[in-house]
Amino acid sequence: MWALPGKHLGEYDQCVVAAVKGVPLDATALYDQIIRDRDHPQPLTVQAEPRYRLPAPRAIQRFVFAPDMLDETAGLKLIEEQGAWKTSGFQALLDVPPPPAEIEPVVAPRPGHLALVLAAGSPTVR
């Protein structure tokens, strides 16, 4: 526990308390130590220069929201402002879907099976 010199606004004492979370071995002894520190705190003096160093600022990461279907104006705006053609999301929108895989039946169809398929209609014929 540390105390700032003088009273804040002339009314009350200021103190700084630092603690480590955990379970004390002897709660009574810890409480007595806290009371002693409160009555006789270490003086906290103001330093001319800070004793800490700030970390370097993080690089700005931008997130661009784009709908699944781009119209001409939105696409042109993205390309001109941020080079959207380089992003993987934009490239995924332009990719040609792969052709459907060739499916082979496990067992060759028998004459009755072929009639059922023809009666159901082919989903690829329009």
25 to 8, 28, 97, 112, 124: CA distances (angstroms): 35, 9, 66, 83, 76
Evaluate whether 13 touches 23 at the Cβ level (below 8 Å): no
Q: Residue 124: what pLDDT? A: 61
User: Tell me: the pLDDT tens digits for 75-111?
Assistant: 788 778 777 667 777 778 888 888 888 877 777 777 7
Rounded to whole angstroms, the Cα distance separating 83 from 77 reads 9
Q: How many residues appear in the chain?
A: 126
Mean per-residue pLDDT over the chain, rounded: 79
Q: What is the structure's pLDDT at 13? A: 80
Tens-digit pLDDT profile for residues 47-57: 888 888 889 99
Q: Can you give the pLDDT at residue 9?
A: 80
